[in-house]
Each structure stands twice: as C-alpha cells, then as structure tokens.
Amino acid sequence: MNKFGIEGGYFSLNGKKVFLNSGEIHYFRIKRELWEEHLKKAKEAGLKTISSYVPWVWHEVNEGEFDFSGTTQPERDLIGWIELCQKHGFTCIVKPGPFILAEYRGAGLPDWFLEKYGDTIKMHNSKGEAVLSDGVSLFNPVFLSKVEQWYNHVMPIISQKQVQNGGPIIMMQVCNEIGVFSWLAHQADYNEQVKEQFISFIKTRYSTIDELNTLWESNYTSFQEIELPPDGNTPYKSKGDRSRDYEWHCFWRKYYANYLRLLSSWIRKHNISIPLYHNLPGWIYGHGYEFPLNITMYEDLYEDKSELIFGVDHIPEFVSYRNLHDDRIINDIVSAMQGEKPLFAAEFQSGSREYHVVTNPREMELFYKASIANGLKGWNYYMFSQGKNPPAKGYSGDTFYWFTPLDNQAKPSSAFPVVQKMSRFIETHEELILTTKRKAEVCVLFYSPYYATELERPEVGASELKFVPARIRRSAYFDGLLKALQVLNVDYDMVDLASSSVNDLLAYKQVWLFSTDEMNAPDQQTIASFVTNGGNLVIFPYLPDREMNQKPCTVLRDTFKIKSSQPEIIDSPLIKLYNLTDIKCSNPLIAYTTEGIDGATPIAFTLRGSICGFEKNVGKGKVVHLGTWLGFDTEGHLQAYTTILERSKAQLANASSTNNFITVRQKFNDTSESLLFVGNYYNENQSGKITYKHPKTNERVQLPLIDGEIEIPPLYAFISPISKEIGKGINILHTTSDVIGINSNNNIITIHLTGDPGLIGEMVLEGINISKIKSAEISEKPIMLIWHNNRIVLNYLHSNKEIVLTLKMLDK
C-alpha cells in the first residue's frame, strides 16, 4: 500500500522525503481529446504531481444531478481524468471547494444554487443588504446543507482514488481563500448567525458583562444586547470602540477556523486520510506586504491546533530589486505561524491571470531559485497549462491565464524550458534542498495582532495611539527592517512572539521587535523575561502601554524602569544615532528625559537634542530602544541597522558579498553539506566577491576562489551545492553553474550544467581523490585543471544550451 503524508516538516511518499513538484492543469478547461497531450508534456517537463480544482458548478449540472463520468459532457469525466493522470505516472492534488475562485464566475458555486438561494446565503452588510460579492455566509444552514450534499457525492470518488487505496490522489485542498472576500471588500458579514456566534464567542472572553462594559465603554445589561461594530469607514470614536473591534477581529479568526474544521470533519467521515491544506493569498501587483494579514485570519489553526497546512499563493507578477524580500518574508511568517509543517506554494506563478501583466521566464527562474533558498518544500506551478472557459463561466472571458508553459493546445512556450530545468535541478539535489536549513544568531519577531486589520476602521485620534500598526507596518517593518536585513544579507529567523518561549528567544544573540502602543500582557511578559534572563533586545518605535483590547498594561515599561515619555513632532525629522548623524526617521519621535530612563545610556537624539533612544542593562540582559522608526530609504539606514546589529556580537551572515546588490544565502544540513544562493535582482550586471562558510571545516571560502570578482548578469541567480560528493573522495566545493544531472561510471564522471552566457563558469573540486582526475572536458573540448591549495579549479563558458562537464579518472 502506498502512503503519502507529512513527517517532521516534510512531505513523505512511502517513507521517503520528497519535494512536491506539481503543476496545475484544469481538466474542465481543456478539451477531452487534449488531456493526454497535456499530461505527456507535463511528464516531459519533469513534473511528478498534477493539481486541479474540482468545481461544484461543473459537476452538479442541475440541482441533485451529478456527472463525474462525462455523460453530459466529456470534460466532466473526473474519474477518467484521475485515472489518466495515474496512467502517466502522476500523483494528484484535488481541490473540490466548495469555493474554488480561480477566476470562475460565482467562484465555483452552481448557478442554480445562486439563483435559487442567493439572497438567503449571501453576505449581508450592517444594513441588512446583500453584499455584491462572491462571498456567502459560511454558516448559513442552506449553504452548509448543499455543501454537505456536494461532499457526499464527490468525496467517495476521492476516497476511492486516494493513494492509500491504490489511486494517485495524495493531497486535498479544503475550500479556497475564504477570508479573501472580506479582505478585498473591507466588509464583514452581518447575518443573524454571525451575531449569534459573536455573542457566544464574547461570553468565552469575558466573565461578566461589567468587565466588558469597562473596556468597551458601554452600558449593556446582558451579553444578548451586544451590538456588532459598524462596517464601512466609520472612524473609531473611543478606546472602547477600538476594544470592541479587536474582539471582532479575534472572532473572525475563530469563525474561519470553525468553518474549515467543519469541512475537514465531513471529509474525514468519508474515510479520506490524505493530508489537507487551505490556500492563502496575499500578493498585490508585485508586493506581498498584505500577506501577513491573510495568514493571521487563520491563527486559530496554527501549529498543532489543526491538521491543516497552509498553502501559499506566490504570485509576484514581476521580480526585481523592489520586491526581492517579499517571498522570503512570506515564507518565514508561514513557517513561524504553522510550526513543523512543510512550506508549500499551492499557487506558484508560472503564467499570468491578467493579459497586461506579461511574465518573464528569466524573472520567474530567479524567483524559483530564491524560493528554494527560502525554504519551500514543494510547489504547484499555477498555471502550468492555459485553459479555455466553458461559455459564460469565465470571470475574465473565454481564456484562463496567459504566458503559461503550455497553451490550451499543449504547445510549449518560453516558460516551458524553465520548468524542465527546475525539475532536473530538484531531482539532482532533492535531499539537499529538503534537509538544509538556515543558521541564524539574529531573530525578528512577528506579532500577528498588528495584522488583524482586514475590517479596521479609520483611526483619527480617538484611541489616543501614538502609532497605528496598519499605518506604519509596511514602511517600518516589512519594507523597512526586513528589507534592510535582506539587502545586508543578514541571516535571521522569524519567530511568532505569541507562541514563543523565553528559552526559544534566548537561543539568539539578538532579537528585534517592532512594537507599537498595543501588546497583550502575556507577550509583554515573554519579552520582559527574555531580557531579564540574559536576552539582547532591540525594540522600536514604542514601549507598549496597553493590551490590544485597550486595557492598560505596562509590563515592559515597568521591567525596564521607564517612567515617562512624550511625543515630539519635527518637520523632516533626523536623528543622531550612536556615531551616525542625520539619519532620516519618522514622526512622532518618542522623547525621554534623563530621569525618565533611570540610568540608561542615551543612544539617539532628535534635532532638538531630546533623547529618543537608549541602551540599558536589565537583569542579565540588555535592551536597545529606538523611539522612532527608520524604514529603508537611504544608505544611512543600512549603516544604522548595521551599527545596532554589530553591537550584538552575533554572526550576522554565513555568506556575504562585497556588493549589497548581490544577494547571498547559505543553508546547511547535518551531514556537512550546504546550498549557496547567489542572486542579482538588479537590472544591470553586478560584480563582487562572495564569501561563504565551508560546512565541514568552517573555513571562509571565496568565490571566485583565486582572484578577481564574479559578475552576475541582471535578474539572474544560481544555486550551488557546497561540499557535495559526486564520486568517491571527490566533492564539488562550489560552482557558478546550475547542476542538473550527475552520473558516475567506469572512471568517468559526467556533470550536466546550465548557466547564463554572461556568467563565467567556475567549478572547484576537492577531496582525497581529486589527484586521480586525469582530465576535464566541456562538451568534448578539453579544459585546464588549475591546482590551487589542494583543490582543482575549472573555468569555462556557459552557453544558451546545456553543457556537459566530463571528468576522466586515472585507471586504478
């Protein structure tokens, strides 16, 4: 019996760790007679898995009339599609909704259902009006009844065809992006079931109505009198108003979780045992800064609270220096929140859903390699095959996706060779990709309440906040601190503050915390205990003075013995920080008196000479506080971040570059091997010297090894195995080529390579048996063996085609 599962943060097939290399092909958008041709091309591209939605609207043609065998239309033959995938050696991922979205009109819900029940099941606003959206009230009994009937028909097929029963289906998506409707419309659902559930939720949060009234500044006599917060753009009226809104956001996190738990329980009743996942959106026209908001919607399902894993939508649309940091941050946040579950890109861009957004295969290849460096354990090319919508079903007309590796007739595009290349790269280095991890001595904390804002209303001062997280989190945190760390090539880990322990944080030599006025007491206590027990903390731009529900809380201020602070507004503010002058910052600046910081050492001053930052020993540890935020707008900001980082004595990077426009990253496994990513996100050549750590000896190794600098072409990256054995006693130390195949036989080692023609090829070999290498050839032409400190250096030219390096050994 075959088995597919999740073990220790990896996907596993029959007990072996695997990288999930999948492509999305929609059988319902491709003519039946072309199915086989698409699958043949997918096999040629090196894919192992095929993913598809299973649209409810497509298979329940009329109410109560189901077609899974193609009786009414050949393209409805779901059973035939699954069996054809298996015939061609593929495993399958199925996504039976009920919501599929996928630019399908009605988001996958049947037309007859929406026509008959639409007014009843739609989301409604606070005025009782149906919202113009594909979203529905998820716990509406009519909706749930019809979903359960849909599941009762489709799940037996999936159960029969799952891998444990001899079929190809290895994984299933549970619904799709359910929080997206409220997020995009900035609109909650105000149906009666929602109000009832909200009141029940609040009863679990407050022991008495008086306790609630104190925080909400209300005068309810019972919980049943509770009113829902207003929707739209009504500004907050008071702290109490904001307190209620915080609970409103917390409720939705429980609401979505309960909905997905319900669907999961229905699935499991059909004896389906394959892994389940839910998909998360977040990229907005090339940027991922809103993704953290989307994952916080599901925080009630994090870690061991649910069996679900989260699939990430990685749809950057373009790749450049402007967004070089986004995918890493998204991956890091997902890993921090979901715990020991594999990082999977469920929608991994290989085409464009909008015709005016023309994807570039070169940019996509850079993105794919960066995603490996940033920890993905699997991906699903979305879309691998273009589709044609059934009449009047496509949100964008008759065509679904453009610039895909295959068009709807199964003809390859310029994106096809990139998928082929990445498949061969994964196959060659699968274990190394899966087992290597980042080594970091610096940690950045993620605090999910700062992103619980999909329904947040305007803050005009009534809540008396110095810093509103939603206003500054992108500039101060996402595109500020985190981008600067990326540009500086700092190795850091992302940790979820709310689920971390003091011991977790003490493993790092420096911890950074973006903090505003609000932070819950347990989380303040974790940070306070971390510092007093020897931790090194950098916190900006504020020391919180209340919890998220607006209850006063000064745990951190009390621990650090900070007595008072005042905001200071300065036009075009600049600060002096340590020995740096005229560092751009932002208003308000939080000013302290000497007495107010109780013996701390001032480290930052405003243009008026006020103290706006200090360094202080607290217990066994130290806190560095900056009462403003810097962002990342100038080279002075890089100097400022570097100055603070270097005071930690932490090792900031395992791999580094003499040029900040060259991004480098190194990951290690437990068997003295590593992977080195070297990339240029800039749109012109960049030159520099790369230094990395030898995974066995800790030697600092340079690339190029001997002299000079490496010149990286625009929008290009390579991933080199470090200290990878290719023959007995012969290792690749590093290479500037992508190694996509290794064969060793009869004293001959052949290595299949690709690389950009603008990048000089260098491969360095080491090991106890390299003296047995007699000669080397590139595509049957001899190249020189250059000996350097008991290593062999091979230099060669890349071309637009694959090249083959042949090493011939001395006869035994």
pLDDT-derived band of residue 726, with 50, 70 and 90 as boundaries?
A: very high
- Residue 243 lies inside a defined structural domain of this protein: no
Beta bridge partners of 787: 792
Pairing status of strand 65-66 against strand 276-280:
unpaired
| Each residue's pLDDT tens digit, 297-337 | 999 998 888 999 999 999 999 999 999 999 999 999 999 99
Q: Is 615 a catalytic residue?
A: no
Q: Which of 642, 716, 643 is nearest to 684 (CA)?
A: 716
Segment 703-729 mean pLDDT: 96
Cα–Cα dist 508/535, whole Å: 8
pLDDT of residue 746: 82
537 and 413, same structural domain?
no
pLDDT of residue 712: 97
332 and 452, same structural domain?
no
Question: Per the structure block, which two tokens stand in for 564?
Answer: 């008072």
CA–CA distance from 786 to each of 423, 690, 776, 790, 811 (Å)?
A: 32, 20, 11, 10, 21
Q: Which of 485, 484, 486, 447 is nearest to 469 (CA)?
A: 447
pLDDT of residue 644: 97
Q: Which of 24, 60, 103, 177 is catalytic?
A: 177
| Each residue's pLDDT tens digit, 478-515 | 999 999 999 999 999 999 999 999 999 999 999 999 99
Measured N-to-C along each axis, helices 239-268 and 192-205 cross at an angle, to the nearest 10 degrees, of 110
Cα–Cα dist 576/504, whole Å: 33
Q: Indicate the average pLDDT of the chain.
A: 96
Where does residue 552 rank: exposed (0-12), middle (13-18), buried (19+ CB within 10 A)? exposed
698 and 637, same structural domain?
no
| Each residue's pLDDT tens digit, 363-376 | 999 999 999 999 99
740 and 594, same structural domain?
no
pLDDT-derived band of residue 812, with 50, 70 and 90 as boundaries?
A: low
End residue of a domain, out of 415, 435, 455: 435
Is residue 21 pLDDT above 90, yes or no? yes
358 and 265, same structural domain?
yes
Task: Provide the CATH number for the domain around residue 780.
Answer: 2.102.20.10
Cα–Cα dist 467/590, whole Å: 10
Cα–Cα dist 63/358, whole Å: 40
669 and 624, same structural domain?
no
Owning domain of residue 591: 442-646
End residue of a domain, out of 419, 435, 451: 435
Q: Is 430 a catalytic residue?
A: no
Q: Residue 782: left (phi > 0), alpha (psi -120 to 50), or beta?
A: beta
| Each residue's pLDDT tens digit, 735-760 | 999 999 999 988 899 999 999 999 99
672 and 616, same structural domain?
no
Query: 83-92: buried (b, 16+ CB within 10 Å) or exposed (e) per residue?
Result: ebbbeeebbb
Cα angle value 314/317/320 (rounded, 5°): 100
91 and 41, same structural domain?
yes
Number of domains observed in the structure of the chain? 3
For 115, phi and psi rounded to 5 degrees?
-65, -35
Amino acid letter, residue 83: E
Segment 669-682 mean pLDDT: 95
Beta strands (DSSP E) in 669-715 are 674-680, 686-688, 690-693, 700-703, 710-712
463 and 399, same structural domain?
no
Q: Which of 741, 743, 785, 793 is nearest to 766 (CA)?
A: 793
Q: Which of 803, 723, 754, 677 is nearest to 425 (CA)?
A: 754
Three-class DSSP category at 726:
strand
Question: Per the structure block, which two tokens stand in for 78?
Answer: 């779901």
Name the one residue in this structure whose structure tokens are 């049957």: 780
Segment 34-57 mean pLDDT: 98
- Give the DSSP H/E element, type plus range, for residue 364: helix 361-373
Segment 626-653 mean pLDDT: 96
Cα–Cα dist 270/695, whole Å: 48
CA–CA distance from 565 to each of 350, 400, 543 (Å)?
A: 51, 56, 9
Question: Per the structure block, which two tokens stand in for 705?
Answer: 């090894």
End residue of a domain, out of 646, 666, 698: 646
Pairing status of strand 276-280 against strand 656-657:
unpaired
579 and 668, same structural domain?
no
668 and 538, same structural domain?
no
pLDDT-derived band of residue 1, with 50, 70 and 90 as boundaries?
A: low
452 and 428, same structural domain?
no
Is the distance from CB of 720 to CB of 736 less than 8 angstroms? yes
| Each residue's pLDDT tens digit, 66-75 | 999 999 999 9
Q: Which of 24, 75, 317, 347 is catalytic?
A: 347
